[in-house]
């Protein structure tokens, strides 16, 4: 899945190394703030490409509360976009609120699809 | 030579065809019988029927959660792997027991016991599986029950006969008010070692006991949910239903262990003929109007039983006529039956009990009620109780049943279906 919702990422490697994390994290935080999605009240997972069956299935697994909040963030951000201005500062997403609420579901769906493919192509050996 | 070989084979079969006795394997009861058949089955029987449920319908949800993701396999993996072995997995819910059954070819018991035990010991109960797979099944069960007036009548009869405990429905409402967490809590309260029994057919008992010992080692040894002894109440109720035949259930309940006399009464009342496409010979069979049907219902539980007649007809008038005949037959049974009728009823009941043991579902139902109480599992002990049925014991049991408050349920057009007093109850 090079270009899918779970594209190639160095994050797990960086997170596994304490030294590397110490150097990269300030840069990553700066980049996340500089990309300004937090100023429009988004969480990072709101930006995940959702126009594919995998993410659609993952979206259906959110709790009703998560689905509602996601729709609210999208509407609020669309409105801010129409006004050509970021939200008021108290409505910006705080870094600790920017959690990956969707990606775990996406990885579950990807794992299920992979398992289905495995069973569809399994070669049975009787011994 | 051929004849000699045949008779030798028959002797071997007779020796192997003894009935299961229960042994304990790390706290789990195990009973297995090898009839030398080509396919085997394993049933994990759990005291998790609707009787023990903490919220209405949660036992049905647990039944439908069976064979979903566990720590060992995903739901898809369970299905695909079982298919490769050529096995069939079923989960059935009764008022007292939840039965998880695997049927498979001889020799695959290790794999299928692993499938069954991993649901008991390490089911994941995920939220998305509840939404995507389990909730539609609960709704489907509820819809199927709601469209069948016979099921509605029996469910309602249990409710008014026993109120709590055995009165709980086997079905959930179509929009249940519980979530996956509640099912998980219920499962952890019922999946305890002394609540579980493993019943095998065509498998070696020693081998199953050894496998069970390993598979259920991690099961909880806490006490299962408490339940109070059943009490019989009885009463009358009627519900509107627009689908199916007009239905009435006329029944009586008893408490205490199921007795051979009550089973004989059910066999005596049954108007079903012994030859297909013919009319039964009993007085009741002759009195049933054309198009109407009367079925004898006998539902034994560990500490109570419900016996009665289910009357169905296309019109309410037909139900009334057949119902009056049914009540007459009940009253006649209570006032005493001839020795000839009793002999044939005992034989009929005995055959029903014996042939039930031949089929897997019947075997599990028969053994299931006994294995937890630790009583003798052999079919001979079941059948020998019928030998003790005599005319005075029969009429005493029948008259004490009929003198108790009847359970009467009408399902269909409530405006025109008869009331209990109109049938002579």
CB B61 within 8 A of CB B176: yes
Ranges of each domain in chain B: 20-215, 235-423
* pLDDT on residue B199: 92
CB A44 within 8 A of CB A35: no
Does any domain span residue A11? Answer: no
DSSP class of A100: -
pLDDT at B337: 87
Residues of B numbered 61-120 whose beta carbons fall under 8 angstroms of chain A's beta carbons: which are they? 74, 76-77, 80, 84
Q: What pLDDT does residue B14 have? A: 42
Q: Say how many residues make up chain A.
A: 127
For residue A5, pLDDT beyond 70: no
Q: How would residue A83 be classed by pLDDT, with cut points 50, 70 and 90?
A: very high
Q: Has residue A58 been placed in a domain? A: yes
Which residue in B237, B223, B259 sits closest to B393, CA to CA?
A: B259
The answer to whether the complex's ipTM is over 0.90 is no
Residue B372's nearest CA partner among B53, B109, B96 is B96
Q: Answer whether A116 sits within 8 Å of B131, measured CB to CB.
A: no
Judge whether A78 lies within some domain.
Answer: yes
What would the CATH number be for the domain defined by B235-423?
3.30.830.10
Distance CA B137, CA B98 (A): 16
Angle between helices B109-122 and B75-85 (to 10 degrees): 160
- For residue A26, being part of any structural domain is answered with no
Nearest chain B residue to A116 by CA distance is B76
Nearest to A116 among B76, B128, B131 (CB): B76
Mutation choice for B interface testing from A119, A121, A122 by most B CBs within 10 A = A119
The residue of chain A nearest to residue B73, with distances taken between CA atoms, is: A115
Name the closest residue on chain A to residue B76, using Cα atoms.
A116
Question: Would the CATH topology of B20-215 be identical to that of B235-423?
Answer: yes
Q: What residues of B are in contact with residue A112 (Cβ under 8 Å)?
A: 74, 76
Q: Are B39 and B202 in contact (CB under 8 A)?
A: yes
The number of distinct structural domains making up chain A is 1
Query: What is B20-215's CATH number, 3.30.830.10, 3.40.50.300, 3.40.50.970, 3.40.228.10?
Result: 3.30.830.10
Q: What is the pTM of this model?
A: 0.88
What is the H or E stretch that residue B359 is in? none
Examine residue A47 and state whether it is found in any structural domain, yes or no: yes
Q: What is the full per-residue pLDDT of chain B (425 aa) written as tens digits?
A: 454 444 444 444 443 344 556 777 778 999 888 888 899 999 999 999 999 998 999 999 999 999 999 999 999 999 999 999 999 999 999 999 999 999 999 999 999 999 999 999 999 999 999 999 999 999 999 999 999 999 999 999 999 999 988 999 999 988 888 999 999 999 999 999 989 999 998 998 889 999 999 999 888 888 888 888 999 999 999 999 998 999 999 999 999 888 899 999 999 999 988 888 888 878 788 889 988 999 999 999 988 999 999 999 999 999 999 999 999 999 988 888 899 989 999 999 999 988 888 888 888 888 888 888 877 787 788 888 898 888 888 989 999 998 999 999 999 999 999 999 999 88
**Sheet strand arrangement including B28-33:** B23-25, B28-33, B196-201, B39-46, B98-105, B88-93
- CATH number, domain with residue A91: 1.10.1090.10
Q: For residue A18, tell me if it sits in a domain.
A: no
DSSP secondary-structure letter at A39?
A: G
Residues B134 and B189: their CA atoms lie apart, in Å, by 20
Nearest residue on chain B to A120, judged by CA atoms?
B80
A29-67 burial code (b ≥16 CB/10 A, e <16): eeeeeeeebbbbbbbbbbebebeeebbebbbebbeeeee
- Residue A55 belongs to what domain range? 36-117
Report A:53-112 residues touching B (Cβ under 8 A): 60-61, 63, 105, 108, 112
Residues ≥6 apart with Cβ < 8 Å to A70: A46, A62
């Amino acid at each position: 899945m090079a270009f899918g919702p779970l594209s190639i990422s160095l994050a797990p490697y960086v997170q596994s190394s304490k030294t590397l994390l110490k150097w990269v994290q300030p840069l990553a935080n700066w980049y996340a703030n500089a990309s300004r999605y937090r100023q429009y009240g988004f969480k990072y997972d709101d930006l995940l490409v959702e126009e594919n069956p995998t993410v659609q299935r993952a979206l259906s697994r959110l709790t009703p509360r998560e689905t509602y909040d996601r729709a609210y963030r999208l509407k609020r951000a669309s409105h801010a976009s129409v006004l050509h201005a970021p939200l008021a500062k108290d409505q910006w997403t705080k870094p600790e609120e920017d959690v990956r609420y969707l990606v775990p579901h996406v990885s579950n769906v990807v794992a299920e699809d992979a398992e289905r493919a495995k069973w569809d192509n399994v070669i049975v050996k009787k011994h | 030579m051929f004849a000699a070989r045949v008779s030798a084979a028959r002797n071997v079969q007779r020796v192997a065809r003894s009935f299961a006795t229960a042994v304990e394997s790390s706290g789990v009861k195990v009973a297995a019988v090898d009839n030398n058949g080509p396919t085997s089955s394993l049933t994990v029987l759990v005291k998790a029927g609707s009787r023990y449920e903490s919220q209405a319908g949660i036992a049905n949800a647990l039944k439908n959660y069976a064979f979903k993701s566990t720590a060992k396999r995903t739901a898809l993996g369970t299905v695909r792997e079982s298919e490769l072995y050529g096995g069939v997995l079923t989960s059935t819910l009764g008022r007292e027991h939840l039965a998880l059954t695997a049927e498979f070819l001889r020799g695959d018991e290790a794999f299928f016991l692993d499938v069954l035990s991993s649901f008991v010991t390490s089911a994941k109960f995920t939220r998305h599986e509840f939404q995507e797979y389990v909730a539609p099944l609960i709704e489907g069960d509820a819809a199927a029950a709601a469209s069948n007036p016979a099921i509605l009548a029996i469910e309602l009869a249990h409710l008014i006969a026993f109120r709590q405990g055995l009165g709980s429905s086997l079905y959930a409402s179509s929009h249940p008010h519980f979530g996956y967490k509640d099912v998980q809590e219920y499962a952890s309260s019922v999946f305890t070692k002394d609540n579980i029994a493993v019943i095998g057919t065509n498998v070696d008992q020693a081998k199953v006991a050894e496998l069970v010992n390993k598979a259920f080692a991690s099961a909880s040894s806490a006490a299962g949910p408490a339940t109070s002894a059943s009490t019989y109440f009885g009463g009358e109720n009627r519900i509107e239903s627009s689908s199916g035949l007009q239905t009435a259930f006329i029944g009586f309940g008893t408490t205490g262990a199921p007795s051979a006399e009550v089973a004989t009464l059910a066999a005596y009342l049954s108007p079903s003929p012994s030859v297909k496409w013919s009319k039964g010979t009993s007085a009741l069979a002759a009195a049933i109007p054309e198009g109407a049907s009367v079925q004898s219902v006998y539902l034994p539980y560990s500490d109570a039983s419900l016996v009665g007649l289910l009357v169905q007809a296309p019109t309410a008038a037909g139900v009334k006529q057949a119902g009056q005949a049914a009540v007459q037959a009940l009253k006649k049974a209570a006032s005493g039956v001839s020795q000839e009728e009793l002999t044939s009823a005992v034989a009929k009941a005995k055959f029903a009990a014996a042939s039930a043991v031949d089929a897997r579902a019947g075997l599990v139902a028969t053994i299931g009620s006994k294995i937890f109480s630790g009583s003798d599992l052999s079919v001979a002990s079941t059948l020998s109780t019928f030998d003790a049925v005599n005319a005075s014991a029969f009429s005493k049991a029948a008259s004490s049943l009929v003198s108790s408050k009847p359970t009467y349920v009408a399902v269909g057009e409530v405006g025109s279906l008869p009331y209990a007093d109109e049938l002579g109850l």
